[in-house]
Chains A and B, each alone.
Chain A
């Protein structure tokens, strides 16, 4: 049975199934959300207006039987934070259930009557539009609880108060296997786009769905086996490996030792309290306090990496899942805070109100830089989230993210690109990621440039790590590979085993080819990724973006970053060369 597009019109409250048109038939995940946004969303539209759309798509292999760590869901639209195209993806329960309903994508469009909000029940029987009045004003912990009482074991996609207020830092929550919010399509304000459609929550019930059709069972099983073995063998992704034992926050100490951990609003590259907020410290807390606390938690069924954690309070009761690297950095080092218990509370606030933790932490740091708080004031930082939840004038400014807060407090040191704040890698110290921050169509995004085997792209061995030469080519290769992986439905962390273990790379491509029937091999990864990037870049150009939007913040060119005392040194010409091929005809 061929996959369908489910189109939900919030103006007339009708839903329709459509065949997937030929032009979209080879895409899934990010590739599909971006293709639909490019075809159906006016690049000049207001992101919160009636002409924007929310597009939701599982990856190619999502929902297929036992494809390892493949539960990602892509959310696409025009971003209120950047003004450009956005794809933000999340784990949790939604992707597999949408896929098992036989859906390639869900398009939510139109706007209901003013003041009307809905909960959408998406099942094999169609779409039911329920008045969401009983959920309005509630945070995502309560929303998830209430909806599971009526619809147990379903996927809950929802927005907190931030999305209701259509704040530019509002994310979209997906529930995890324990029905807690915390799997966020966080970046870029997609929660505000969902709110602008008048949708408070969407329930996905996969019961009775046709499941995911496998075009070539033998090829799929062969690829799945290779990829699974690679994940289980690799030191970072195997059981008890770095990710499983310490979570993504295993990066804190290493970036700190390297002098690349942004500290106190990107004013230094090392934080004296780094060890206290690291993955190692989180693991020690979980061991000491016990109870519900744990490392090695999986964010969706079928994950074999399990890099999530459940952080406990002093009694062992769960506070939040999960404290990621970016989260503990944003709320911690970047705010000068070394208290894990406060970081956990702030993370819970973000998950409840519906905020991206990276943008939220950077915003608190911006408020500290602007004098609202002192760096290191953990109690004061935690209270700022009450302001956002209540929608006070201050809260509405903070909820708009870093750039709005910088303007409100007269700060000129603003670590953003295309309106989106930088994640936890200082681009003056880690120059390779800086090119990606500057040029990604998504704005400053660490996941946009995830690595693949560079030798496959023909750039192996050419690069002097201390030179700027070749960084543009490398960044493009990484961005393209990421766009591909974001389309597969696999977690980005498969990047490690597929890079280091040859059969992993083959397995990824073979499993995608096995599910879809498309003739995809490892050699197609970068070219297909570049096609996605080209779509996204052209959308941004039509939205008014120019080369000037592919630039780092001014202060990074002028301020030296300790301990290495380095400034941004990549030239504008090098940045412009990353996507020059979009218009000069060289596709590969």
Chain B
């Protein structure tokens, strides 16, 4: 029964060098089953992506992390969510992301960081 479901399934796209964690060349798309209540960092741990290789990360088109910042915020994932994770060598100039919706965790981290950069490495 749906009410007793103990897991969620999220659709994940891995880009660039991260595609190898999903058996892809440069892009890999896969469905991942996680425990109910799992979040962003749980997914990254499940996939085995080292912190040093984590770049931009989106959940349902909301920016949740940027290269080098690795907020550590464990945004909750829901059944049917889509997560896009990029390697650290992404071209994403500041002005092309200025104004994008972003998670509260990332917003807090960026305010604490101060300066605006292409990457935070």
Contact = CB atoms under 8 A, between A and B. Distances in A.
Interface of A: 235-236, 241-243, 245-246, 248, 250-251, 253-255, 257-260, 269-270, 275, 278, 280-281, 283-284, 287, 425, 429-434, 436, 446, 449-451, 453-455, 460-461, 463-466, 471, 474, 478, 495-496, 499-500, 563-564
B4 interface: no
A466 B102 contact: yes
A10 B74 CA distance: 67
7 contacts: A257-B58, A275-B13, A429-B101, A431-B99, A433-B96, A436-B95, A461-B114
B29 A430 contact: no
A280 B26 contact: yes
Please indicate which of the listed interface residues B84, B97, B99 has the most CB atoms of chain A within 10 Å of its own CB. Answer: B99
Given A258-B97, A450-B93, 6 more contacts: A259-B101, A270-B61, A287-B25, A461-B114, A465-B100, A499-B94
Nearest to B59: A257
Contact of B16 (A246, A453, A463): A246
B27 A260 contact: no
Interface string B39-71: 000000000000000001010110100010000
B81 to A, nearest CB: 12
B91 to A, nearest CB: 5
A431 B91 contact: no
Nearest to A248: B91
Contact of B86 (A254, A425, A450, A563): A254
Contacts of B115: 453-455, 460-461
Contacts of A463: 98, 116
A279 to B, nearest CB: 8
A563 B61 contact: yes
A260 B56 CA distance: 14
Contacts of B60: 563
A360 B90 CA distance: 27
A257 B91 contact: no
Interface in B72-121: 84, 86, 88-102, 107, 110-111, 114-119, 121
A424 B98 CA distance: 15
B27 A451 contact: no
Given A284-B26, A499-B117, A564 B91 contact: no
CB-based closest 7 A-B pairs: A432-B98, A431-B99, A257-B84, A259-B61, A280-B26, A242-B89, A461-B114
B94 to A, nearest CB: 4
Contacts of A260: 96, 100
Given A253-B27, A258-B63, A499-B117, A471 B99 contact: yes
Given A246-B26, A465-B102, A236 B15 contact: no
Contacts of A245: 16, 89
Q: Interface residue tally of chain B, by bracket?
A: 35 or more
Given A253-B84, A429-B100, A461-B114, A235 B95 contact: no
Contacts of B97: 258, 430, 432, 465
Given A236-B91, A254-B92, A451-B94, A432 B99 contact: yes
Interface of B: 13, 15-16, 19, 25-27, 29, 56, 58, 60-61, 63, 67, 84, 86, 88-102, 107, 110-111, 114-119, 121
B27 A500 contact: no
B87 to A, nearest CB: 8
B21 to A, nearest CB: 15
Please indicate which of the listed interface residues B19, B27, B84 has the most CB atoms of chain A within 10 Å of its own CB. Answer: B27
B53 to A, nearest CB: 11
B118 A451 contact: yes
A231 to B, nearest CB: 13
A199 B102 CA distance: 50
Please indicate which of the listed interface residues B84, B102, B118 has the most CB atoms of chain A within 10 Å of its own CB. Answer: B118
Contact of B61 (A236, A431, A495, A564): A564
A436 B25 CA distance: 36
A383 B93 CA distance: 35
B93 A257 contact: no
B119 A235 contact: yes
A434 B91 contact: no
Given A500-B118, A500-B119, A465 B91 contact: no
Nearest to A242: B89
B58 A241 contact: no
A496 B98 contact: no
Please indicate which of the listed interface residues B26, B101, B111 has the most CB atoms of chain A within 10 Å of its own CB. Answer: B26
B59 to A, nearest CB: 9
Contacts of B98: 430-433, 463, 465, 471, 474
Contacts of B117: 453, 499-500
A205 B61 CA distance: 51
Please indicate which of the listed interface residues B89, B95, B114 has the most CB atoms of chain A within 10 Å of its own CB. Answer: B95
A250 B27 contact: no
A463 B56 CA distance: 20
Nearest to A283: B26
A224 B98 CA distance: 31
Nearest to B94: A451
B118 A496 contact: yes
Contacts of A500: 117-119, 121
B115 to A, nearest CB: 5
B28 to A, nearest CB: 10
A461 B114 CA distance: 4
Nearest to A474: B98
Nearest to A245: B89
Contact of B93 (A270, A460, A466, A496): A496
